[in-house]
């Protein structure tokens, strides 16, 4: 007694989703076929449709249905600033702060040699070209590195910094320190040490 | 700054998978579009294909690509026995024991009123008809209830038992007791109490 081949194939295919192992895949397949066939057909369509229509913005490398995304195409942005982030969600977070009006470059990942993610996978060629030539003949004055303050994010920022420095492009890194509402008693010592090193004169 | 519509739609559609919330759906969508477009298109195909070809066996209600599944169609099975289980995986487990050669009926779930799963959702009409009329004019002598020994599985077994008793069909329930290798010191008291109540004379 085995599952029908098409069901086995579905179980196998579901395993391409990150974080889905054999047991979850089995549960998902049974659930879809038994209780949510409409959802399953919607998912099949959404997958095909997204694969067909969603590509990358030629300037910022973010997901986009047009060759140039709406942020890069906007005339209200300061084209002299280029903020480098790891993921599209980071762009959304920065936009929510409403304190940055420059443009972005989305790496779509971070350097992670153990996972096989090197400079090519995070599109560094494209970033260098973008930083050197600018967009529509408007050159980039400063590249702001806004990768995460994790080990991998730091390594990525360092690597990019070296690349850009060799090409005489001004590079900065987002500040590190106590978070808003942070209490010295509860903050970790790494953050606190950095906050002291990067102290800012106030008078 | 928002995700492109086709990407938003994919994120939304991924949420139909059980156990997938907004954060997981976002991560999955990014992963598929960025790192595994081949897997995504395979998944889209597998979903459509499974929806098209996988239906239910008219006799046992298990998933099947044919109107009658291979187990029900087999001539080696004892057609007088009908074992009722919750899920297709239960059939596989029972087949692995190689100690049962009757036929099956797969409920595809268990009674769970809070989740909106009542007698209709677990195909009890089909089960009653199957138990009463048999397959290919071979009548069913005994229905073995092999739902789980959980609260919901027990309730389901009880409900089915009442339905079948009213129609004069012989019903049994799989045994409860200590598992193989079970030590009295470590077994839970409910199991132990049941093992005493259902003790079996050995001389």
Q: Which residues pair with B143 in a beta bridge?
A: B82, B171
Predicted confidence at residue B191, as pLDDT, reads 82
Average pLDDT, chain B: 89
Predicted confidence at residue A30, as pLDDT, reads 92
Worst-scoring range by mean pLDDT, A163-177, B23-37, B131-145, B159-173? B131-145
Q: How far apart, in whole angstroms, are the C-alpha atoms of residue B2 and residue B103?
A: 54
Predicted confidence at residue B1, as pLDDT, reads 56
At residue A194, does pLDDT exceed 90?
no
Buried b / exposed e across B66-82, counting CB within 10 Å, b at 16+? eeebebbeeeebebebb
Cβ(A96)–Cβ(A157) under 8 Å? Answer: no
At residue A14, does pLDDT exceed 90?
yes
Instruction: Give the CA diameter of chain A.
Output: 79
At residue B59, does pLDDT exceed 70?
yes
Number of H helices, E strands in chain B: 8, 6
Predicted confidence at residue B66, as pLDDT, reads 92
At residue B183, does pLDDT exceed 90?
no
Strands B78-85 and B170-173: unpaired
Predicted confidence at residue A180, as pLDDT, reads 80
Which residues lie closer than 8 Å to A100 by C-beta, 6 or more apart? Answer: A81, A83, A94
When pLDDT is averaged across residues B33-46 and rounded to a whole number, the result is 93
Cβ(A32)–Cβ(B93) under 8 Å? Answer: no
When pLDDT is averaged across residues A23-43 and rounded to a whole number, the result is 93
Between positions 14 and 53 of A, the ones with CB within 8 A of B are 14, 16-19, 24, 26-34, 36-37, 39-53
CB atoms B27 and A19 under 8 Å: yes
At residue A176, does pLDDT exceed 70?
yes
Q: Please give the full DSSP string across B53-111, using - where no structure is assigned.
A: H-EE-TTT--EESSSS-HHHH-SSSEEEEEEEESSHHHHHHHHHHT---EEEEE-SS--
Q: Please, what is the angle between helix B5-14 and helix B22-35, to 10°?
A: 120
Predicted confidence at residue A45, as pLDDT, reads 95
- Segment A85-136, tens digit of pLDDT: 999 988 988 888 888 889 999 999 999 988 888 998 898 999 999 998 876 6
At residue A138, does pLDDT exceed 90?
no
Strands A102-106 and A78-85: parallel
Predicted confidence at residue A38, as pLDDT, reads 94
Q: What is the ipTM of this complex?
A: 0.76
- Segment A74-83, tens digit of pLDDT: 989 998 999 9
Predicted confidence at residue B139, as pLDDT, reads 84
Q: Is the CB of residue A174 less than 8 Å away from at least one CB of chain B? A: no
At residue B90, does pLDDT exceed 60?
yes
Average pLDDT, chain A: 89
Q: Around Cβ A21, how many Cβ atoms within 10 Å?
A: 10
| Residue A95 or B182, more confident | A95
CB atoms B13 and A54 under 8 Å: no
Residues of B in contact with A4 (CB under 8 A): 53-54, 63-65, 69
When pLDDT is averaged across residues A10-17 and rounded to a whole number, the result is 94
Helix (H, G, I), strand (E, B) or coil at A190: helix
Cβ(B194)–Cβ(B149) under 8 Å? Answer: no
Q: Is the CB of residue A7 less than 8 Å away from at least one CB of chain B? A: yes
When pLDDT is averaged across residues A59-66 and rounded to a whole number, the result is 92
Q: How far apart, in whole angstroms, are the C-alpha atoms of residue B40 and residue B48?
A: 12
Please give the C-alpha separations between residue B112 and each of A36, A144, A158, B129, B171, in angstroms, as whole numbers: 17, 55, 55, 22, 22
CB atoms A6 and B50 under 8 Å: yes
Q: How far apart, in whole angstroms, are the C-alpha atoms of residue A10 and residue A3?
A: 11
pTM score, two decimals? 0.76
First to last CA, chain A: 79
Closest alpha carbon within chain B to A7: B50
| Residue A192 or A54, more confident | A54
At residue A2, does pLDDT exceed 80?
no
Strands (E), chain A: 55-56, 63-64, 78-85, 102-106, 142-145, 170-173
Predicted confidence at residue B186, as pLDDT, reads 81
Nearest to A145 by CA among A166, A164, A132: A164
- Segment B99-149, tens digit of pLDDT: 888 999 999 999 998 888 899 889 899 999 998 887 666 788 899 999 998
Q: Is the CB of residue B112 less than 8 Å away from at least one CB of chain A? A: no
Q: How far apart, in whole angstroms, are the C-alpha atoms of residue B13 and residue A199?
A: 47
- Segment A106-118, tens digit of pLDDT: 999 999 988 888 9
Predicted confidence at residue B198, as pLDDT, reads 80
Between positions 147 and 166 of A, the ones with CB within 8 A of B are none
Between positions 69 and 88 of B, the ones with CB within 8 A of A are 69-71, 87-88
Tell the burial category of B38 from Cβ atoms under 10 Å away from its Cβ (0-12, 13-18, 19+).
exposed
Place of tokens 């046992």: B60
Residues of A in contact with B44 (CB under 8 A): 43-45, 47-48, 51
Predicted confidence at residue B134, as pLDDT, reads 74
**Residue % of chain B over a pLDDT of 90:** 51
Closest alpha carbon within chain B to A86: B30
**Residue % of chain A over a pLDDT of 90:** 52
Residue B29: both structure tokens together: 């969508």
């Amino acid at each position: 007694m085995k599952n029908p081949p098409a069901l086995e194939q579905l179980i196998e295919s579901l395993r391409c989703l990150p974080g889905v192992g054999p047991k979850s895949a089995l549960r998902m397949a049974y659930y879809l076929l038994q209780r949510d066939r409409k959802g399953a057909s919607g998912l099949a369509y959404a997958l095909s449709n997204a694969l067909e229509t969603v590509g990358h913005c030629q300037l910022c490398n973010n997901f986009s249905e047009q060759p140039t995304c709406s942020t890069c195409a906007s005339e209200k942005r300061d084209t002299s600033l280029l903020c480098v982030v790891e993921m599209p969600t980071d762009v959304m977070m920065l936009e929510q702060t409403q304190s940055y009006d420059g443009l972005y470059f989305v790496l779509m990942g971070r350097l992670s040699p153990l996972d096989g993610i090197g400079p090519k996978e995070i599109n560094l060629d494209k970033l260098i070209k973008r930083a050197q030539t600018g967009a529509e003949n408007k050159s980039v004055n400063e590249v702001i590195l806004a990768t995460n303050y994790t080990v991998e994010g730091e390594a990525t920022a360092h690597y990019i910094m070296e690349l850009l420095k060799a090409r005489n492009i001004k590079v900065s890194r987002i500040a590190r320190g106590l978070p808003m509402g942070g209490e010295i008693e509860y903050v970790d010592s790494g953050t606190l040490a950095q906050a002291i090193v990067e102290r800012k004169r106030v008078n």
